[in-house]
Amino acid sequence: MDITFEKVGYCYQKNSPFETRALTNVNVTFKEGSYSAIIGHTGSGKSTLIQHLNALLQPTEGTLIIGERKIVAGVKQKKLRDLRKHVGVVFQFPEAQLFEETVEKDICFGPLNFGISDEEARKRARKVIREVGLSEDILTRSPFELSGGQMRRVAIAGVLAMEPDVLVLDEPTAGLDPSGRTEIMEMFHKLHKEKGLTTILVTHSMEDAARYAEQIILMKKGTVIQTATPREIFTKTEQLLELGLLVPDVVRFQHEFEQKFQVKLKTTCLTIEELITAITPYLKNGGGE
Amino acid sequence: MIDKLIFGRYVPGESLIHKLDARTKLLAGIYFIGILFLANNLVSNVLLVLFTLFTMMLTGIKLTAFMKGIRPLIWLILFTVMMQVLFTIGGTVYFTWGPVAVSSFGLIKGTYIFIRFILIIMMSTLVMLTTTPMDLMRAIEYWLYPFKYINVPVQDVALMVSVALRFVPTLVEETEKIMKAQQARGVEFGVGNLFQQMKSVVPIFIPLFVSSFNRAEDLANAMEARGYQGGNQRTKFHILHWHLLDGATLMLFLLITMVLVMLRTT
């Protein structure tokens, strides 16, 4: 299911003294099965953009095509629920959406809303709870007695249980400890690869964007200013720094390494593994090369 | 849905009205509602309408913002006006049908009530739009001060109200966020019969209550950590100041009152 934005614009509280423009002329495509990262400064419209992906917000200008559905600005939409079944969204701090008495009920809530049978929903709950790295006995507990990290995982499981084709993640690791971060990001990456999930990640972590994404969408003041591969984006770092964004540590290390030793590595390395392979030859001769 | 509420919204500006002391605005706003009831003829009503329009223009805020204040109440206003029009007897009767009668008295009374409603809403919207909620709170605290002598814990009440005001937008934001998250999980609001609609708010209310409890605990801890002990031992950071303009405004209102009293017909 491809998602395409064509000249999409969005205004909050249109025609009121509080009118604020959040998106202007956004043109971007999320291809089926791809992994995209959206980066940009706070207030650049990232969260507004992703709320369009399952039609929680509908464009005030332009056209949005989600799979077969075409959402044109100003045309009233019906049966959005069918659409939302295919696009799962994990919001920022998703633990705030838990409400049922037990974890199992909460996970089943989404699937049941989309007309999945009770039995099937429970089966899915048992499956996804393991996928998010929790044990099955947590299913009978109340979500409110869990730790913050566990609640986050339960909330994510609730979205995964809907078995969406597209998974939208709005800073899924914000406020988690470092090991929790890596675990959760690795889990999403595994799901993306195994199930061919189209994944769209909004993040402030350039490391995550560099490591996982195939496509990076760079936003500024409500517009997309560049769509490119991570390597392209992080090779030209001036633009990022201008936008007040950081460069991944690996890239920064490479820059300083190149300057110090007056060498130029073949490509911009995005992961530590790549960097190790690239600099090992220089170190073999005790730096004498 | 929530965007449409005008309540508690502040539109920043530099107008004369914005510069007025919050205490003046609050007092004048309430006083204005009181003197509205003095107007019982055409001339005094026209005078009040002109005065309201004039103050609205002074704020420099677009008229549409004021209109938004009326919208949620329009049915109540129309209902009351219709009752007055249909059930007042007297003067020339134009139309009767059972107990229902449209008469000249009814029409006139209906019109006055309509004007009264609109002016009350306009003035209170005006005070709200030109004063920050916090300033309004300080004004309320000031005017409540005398109640201290009959053992009303004015400072505590003021604190509670200001915390409540501070968290209105935060809670609204939170509500919207939770609504969206649940919509993404397949909840549809405003569809189905009454029972289904009531059921669909459960996934919003429970998380909202839970987060309010957590928030209250965090806030209470943070306040204690910063040395808050309650009671009256505190000094004030924001101090409101009277200016010449405030005195002039209050004088103007006294003048209007006198004119209205003189214009009153029996």
The neighbour count for residue B142, using CB atoms within 10 Å, is 17
Q: What is the pLDDT of residue A4?
A: 93
Q: What is the pLDDT of residue B1?
A: 42
Q: Which residues of chain A have a CB within 8 Å of the CB of B62?
A: 17
Q: Measured between alpha carbons, how far is B29 from B125 in angstroms, rounded to an integer?
A: 10
Residue A272 CB burial class (10 angstroms; 0-12, 13-18, ≥19): middle
Q: Average the pLDDT over B167-179 and give the result.
A: 89
| Both structure tokens of B229 | 């002990």
Give the tens place of pLDDT for each residue, A88-141.
999 999 999 999 999 999 999 999 999 999 999 999 999 999 999 899 999 999
Q: Which residues of chain B have a CB within 8 Å of the CB of A142?
A: none
Can you point out the beta strands (E) in chain B? 93-97, 100-103
Q: What is the pLDDT of residue A141?
A: 94
| A97, A113, A159: residue with CB nearest B207 | A97
Whether the predicted interface score ipTM is above 0.90: no
Helix, strand, or coil here: A225?
Answer: strand
Q: How close is the nearest chain A Cα to the Cα of B183, in Å? A: 8
Q: Measured between alpha carbons, how far is A51 from B256 in angstroms, rounded to an integer?
A: 52
| Both structure tokens of A106 | 């909460």
Q: Which of B147, B172, B125, B138 is nearest to B21 (CA)?
A: B138
Q: How far is CA B124 from the centre of its chain?
A: 5
Average pLDDT, chain A: 90
Put simply, the answer to whether B61 touches A17 (Cβ < 8 Å) is yes
| A15, A96, A114: residue with CB nearest B178 | A96
Q: What is the pLDDT of residue B229?
A: 85
Q: What is the pLDDT of residue A281?
A: 84
Judging by DSSP bridges, how do beta strands A69-72 and A61-66 pair with one another? Answer: antiparallel
Q: What is the pLDDT of residue B6?
A: 55
Q: Which of A230, A243, A163, A283 is nearest to B186 (CA)?
A: A163
Put simply, the answer to whether A109 touches B178 (Cβ < 8 Å) is no
Put simply, the answer to whether A17 touches B188 (Cβ < 8 Å) is no
| Both structure tokens of B169 | 């937008």
Task: For chain A, give the percent of residues with pLDDT over 70.
Answer: 98
Confidence of residue B232 (pLDDT cuts 50, 70, 90): low
Put simply, the answer to whether A84 touches B184 (Cβ < 8 Å) is yes
Q: What is the pLDDT of residue A9?
A: 93
Higher pLDDT, A282 or B116: B116
Instruction: Kindly give, in sequence order, each residue whose CB lies less than 8 Å from that of residue A148, ignoring residues fewer than 6 positions away.
Output: A95, A175, A176
The neighbour count for residue A28, using CB atoms within 10 Å, is 17
Helix, strand, or coil here: B103?
Answer: strand
Q: What is the pLDDT of residue A168?
A: 95
Q: Which residues of chain B have a CB within 8 Å of the CB of A88?
A: 184
Helix, strand, or coil here: A196?
Answer: coil
Residue with tokens 């936008």: A243
Q: Are A253 and A270 in contact (CB under 8 A)?
A: no
Q: Which of B207, B215, B202 is nearest to B178 (CA)?
A: B207
Give the tens place of pLDDT for each residue, A153-187.
999 999 999 999 999 999 999 888 898 899 999 99
Q: Measured between alpha carbons, how far is B166 from B162 in angstroms, rounded to an integer?
A: 6
Give the tens place of pLDDT for each residue, B57-115.
888 888 888 887 788 888 999 999 988 888 877 777 777 777 777 888 888 888 999 99
Q: Which residues of chain A have a CB within 8 Å of the CB of B185?
A: 84, 97, 109-110, 113, 158-159, 162
Q: Which of A5-9, A94-98, B6-10 has the lowest mean pLDDT?
A: B6-10
Give the tens place of pLDDT for each residue, B141-161.
889 889 989 988 888 888 888
Confidence of residue A289 (pLDDT cuts 50, 70, 90): very low
Confidence of residue A285 (pLDDT cuts 50, 70, 90): low
Confidence of residue A10 (pLDDT cuts 50, 70, 90): very high
The number of CA neighbours under 13 Å toward the Cβ of B19 is 12
| Both structure tokens of B162 | 């200001």
Put simply, the answer to whether B180 touches A56 (Cβ < 8 Å) is yes
Helix, strand, or coil here: B8?
Answer: coil
Q: Average the pLDDT over A261-278 and give the result.
A: 86
Q: Are A112 and A121 in contact (CB under 8 A)?
A: yes
Confidence of residue A151 (pLDDT cuts 50, 70, 90): very high
Confidence of residue B8 (pLDDT cuts 50, 70, 90): low
Give the tens place of pLDDT for each residue, A177-231.
898 899 999 999 999 999 899 999 999 999 999 999 999 999 999 999 999 999 9
- The residues that bridge with A89 in the sheet, in sequence order, are A168
Q: Measured between alpha carbons, how far is A53 from A201 in angstroms, rounded to an integer?
A: 12
Residue with tokens 């030209």: A236
Give the residue on A whose Cα is nearest the Cα of B183.
A56
Instruction: Kindly give, in sequence order, each residue whose CB lies less than 8 Å from that of residue B29, ignoring residues fewer than 6 positions away.
Output: B123, B124, B126, B127
* Residue among B126, B180, B185 with most chain A CBs within 10 A, to mutate: B185
pLDDT above 70 for B185: yes
Q: Which residues of chain A have a CB within 8 Å of the CB of B65?
A: 16-17
Q: What is the pLDDT of residue A287?
A: 52
Q: Are A161 and A125 in contact (CB under 8 A)?
A: yes
Q: Average the pLDDT over A6-15 and give the result.
A: 88
Q: Which residues of chain B have a CB within 8 Å of the CB of A98?
A: 207
pLDDT above 80 for A269: yes
Contacts of B119-123 spanning 24+ positions with Cβ under 8 A = B119/B32, B119/B36, B119/B48, B119/B49, B119/B52, B120/B33, B120/B36, B121/B69, B121/B70, B121/B73, B122/B52, B122/B56, B122/B66, B122/B69, B122/B70, B123/B29, B123/B32, B123/B33, B123/B52, B123/B55
Q: What is the pLDDT of residue A203?
A: 93
Residue A259 CB burial class (10 angstroms; 0-12, 13-18, ≥19): exposed
Full-model pTM? 0.77
Q: Outline where chain A has alpha helix (H).
A: 46-52, 80-86, 103-113, 118-131, 148-160, 178-195, 206-212, 230-235, 237-242, 249-261, 272-284
Give the tens place of pLDDT for each residue, B238-262.
888 888 889 999 999 999 999 999 9
Q: Residues of chain B whose C-beta is under 8 A from some C-beta in A?
A: 3, 9, 11, 61-62, 64-65, 68, 174, 177-178, 180-188, 202-203, 206-207, 210-211
Q: Residues of chain A whose C-beta is under 8 A from some C-beta in B?
A: 12-13, 15-18, 51, 54, 56, 81, 84-85, 87-89, 91, 94, 96-99, 109-110, 113-114, 144, 158-159, 162
Give the tens place of pLDDT for each residue, B10-61.
777 788 888 888 899 999 999 999 999 888 888 999 999 999 999 998 888 8
Q: How close is the nearest chain A Cα to the Cα of B186, in Å? A: 5
| B3, B187, B202: residue with CB nearest A113 | B187
Put simply, the answer to whether B202 touches A99 (Cβ < 8 Å) is yes
Identity at B200, one-letter amino acid code:
S
Q: Measured between alpha carbons, how far is A139 from B60 in angstroms, rounded to an integer?
A: 58
**DSSP code for B37:** T
| A12, A13, A110: residue with CB nearest B186 | A110
Q: Which residues of chain B have a CB within 8 Å of the CB of A87?
A: 184
Query: Pseudo-torsion of CA A66, A72, A77, A83, nearest 10°?
Result: 0
Put simply, the answer to whether A16 touches B3 (Cβ < 8 Å) is yes
The DSSP-derived string for A15-83 is TSTT-EEEEEEEEEEE-TT-EEEEEE-TTSSHHHHHHHTTTSS--SEEEEEETTEEEETT-----HHHH
